[in-house]
Amino acid sequence: MIATEKTVEQEQPISNIEWDVERVREDFPVLSQTVNGKPLVYLDNAASSQVPQVVIDRGSKYLQEEHSNIHRGVHYLSQRATTAYEGAREKVRRFINARDSRECIFVRGATEGINLVMHGYGRKFVGEGDEIIISAMEHHANIVPWQMLCEEKGAHLRVIPINDAGELILDEYDALLNERTKLVAIAHISNALGTVNPVKEIVARAHKMGVPVLADGAQSAPHMVVDVQDLDCDFFAFSGHKMFAPTGSGVVYGKRELLEKMNPFQGGGDMIRTVTFEKTTYAGLPNKFEAGTPAIASQIGLGAAIDYLNSINREQAVAYEHELLRYATEKISSIEGVRIIGTAREKASVLSFIVEDVHPHDIGTILDQEGIAVRAGHHCAQPVMQRFQVPATARASFAFYNTREEVDTLARAIEKVIEVFS
């Protein structure tokens, strides 16, 4: 029934990758816990990744020494808070290689970033009969805002289909692009399937038609080296809590020419230049899009998470994760009764699977008893489940602090699930 040992050489070291995973694990205090009497095996990184001590310390330092509102005060603390907050923005700029830090708008996360583009760009530039292209593998955060817009404007949503491996069918994309297309919004990496989409190519084809592209980078920012100028995408949204920073932090990047033409998102303090009852004029970038007091501590934490990522060898981290995913795919797929959902050639970090005759929630529950955290459900991507005709999947998602031993523990626990239900 179980054919893992034969097909996978466990002792073989990960070749050409210098990665001291035990050393890296020490940076993340959460990981040394036990759960249900077992060492925690945290494989739910696609939902939220863990936070290193240096990021926790940076947040504490702000609260202990700098807590104050930004931009408005001339006093010492406010200036320190503003410096730290704007410093984090510059770190974000370098992290994604944006031209100008004013193109990096702080938001609560990818969801808010996409909604900002929907309100600021969509409601201004999309009209009746226009079309927006998304794909069949989008997270609900990159579906629902566009549906809401289409409903409001009488516009239409067009969906690029995917093949059985979970890859976009690019010929169909070409067929969808036309003079009514007003925006393409596409996941850089699918959170449900792990597919890495060819965003650069998608952008190039859209730009030939003069159509801007939003890349949903919630899964790529933590697991790839991202360069928005190289991708040439017009918008790029991501969440801090999936890249080793606190919840409430996140960014939507936009090209300056577009951001300047767009409507503001929310109205309030900090986003204005002058206010009278007759007319308000708006502030310049990025303030125009940052109404009210932002999540100052969280965004400073995002800056610290970027410092942390720069302090470890990023290329090696990505290579290590890639190798770990390959190892896990081989090991888990060789268990009889297991089917991997999402077998694209280019994948990152995510292993979705189902076990014959076992509901994914039961898998999740039994794995939890073994101290293993995976996600079971539709992963906020119900259309993906419909495409593969499954109600849900179990999903193990990796970060550079996960180990081969943890994958082995996962494999043993899945075998146990199969035993229980056989």
SS3 for 34? strand
Per CB under 6 A, 372 contacts ligand PLP: no
Per CB under 6 A, contacts with ligand PLP among 215-254 are 216, 218-219, 239
The one catalytic residue in 104, 150, 233, 380 is 380
- CB 238 → ligand PLP: shortest distance, Å? 8
Of the candidate spans 23-31, 169-177, 211-219, 301-309, the one that interacts with ligand PLP by CB under 6 A turns out to be: 211-219
Residue 213 host element (H or E)? strand 213-216
Structure tokens at 359: 């509901």
Q: Near ligand PLP by CB under 6 A, which window of 108-116, 123-131, 228-236, 351-359?
A: 108-116
Q: Please say which residue, 46 or 136, places its beta carbon nearer to ligand PLP.
A: 46
Q: Which residues contact 223 (CB under 8 A, 6 or more apart)?
A: 189, 318, 321, 348, 349
> Does the footprint of ligand PLP cover residue 393 (CB under 6 A)?
no
Shortest spacing between CB 243 and ligand PLP, in angstroms: 10
DSSP of 285-341, one letter per residue?
Answer: TTGGG--S---HHHHHHHHHHHHHHHHS-HHHHHHHHHHHHHHHHHHHHTBTTEEEE
CB of 115 to ligand PLP, least distance (A): 9
Residue 344 contacts ligand PLP per CB under 6 A: no
Nearest-approach distance from CB 123 to ligand PLP, in angstroms: 20
Nearest to 306 by CA among 246, 244, 217, 262: 244
In the complex, the smallest distance separating the C-beta of residue 44 from ligand PLP, rounded to whole angstroms, is: 11
Burial of 325-337, coded b for 16+ CB within 10 Å and e otherwise, reads bebbbebbebbeb
In the complex, the smallest distance separating the C-beta of residue 300 from ligand PLP, rounded to whole angstroms, is: 18
Q: Is 187 in the site for ligand PLP (CB under 6 A)?
A: yes
Closest by Cα among 340, 348, 344 to 319 = 348
Which among 30-38, 105-113, 125-133, 366-374 is the span making contact with ligand PLP, rule CB under 6 A? Answer: 105-113
Interface region with ligand PLP, contact rule CB under 6 A, candidates 50-58, 115-123, 212-220, 404-412: 212-220
Q: Which of 227, 237, 232, 231 is nearest to 145 (CA)?
A: 237
Contacts of 277 (CB under 8 A, 6+ apart): none
For residue 420, the tally of other CB atoms under 10 A from its CB is 10
233 is catalytic: no
Burial class (CB in 10 A: 0-12, 13-18, 19+), 39: middle
Give the binding-site size for ligand PLP (rule: CB under 6 A). 13
Helix (H, G, I), strand (E, B) or coil at 234: coil
CB closer to ligand PLP out of 110 and 309? 110
298 binds ligand PLP (CB under 6 A): no
Whether the bond into 391 is cis, omega within 30 of 0 = no
Closer by beta carbon to ligand PLP, 141 or else 203: 141
The distance of closest approach from Cβ of residue 66 to ligand PLP in the complex, given in angstroms and rounded to an integer, is 25
CA dist 253 and 265 (Å) reads 14
The whole-angstrom separation of Cα 53 and Cα 191 is 26
Q: Which stretch binds ligand PLP (CB under 6 A): 21-29, 31-39, 104-112, 313-321?
A: 104-112
CA-angle at 409, arms to 408 and 413, nearest 5° = 115
Q: Which CB atom, from 27 or from 216, has the smaller least distance to ligand PLP?
A: 216
DSSP class of 140: G
Binding map of ligand PLP across residues 110-149, x = CB under 6 A, - = no contact:
xx---------------------------x-xx-------
Which residues from 43-82 bind ligand PLP, rule CB under 6 A?
46
- Write out the catalytic residue numbers: 380
Binding site for ligand PLP (CB under 6 A): 46, 109-111, 139, 141-142, 187, 191, 216, 218-219, 239
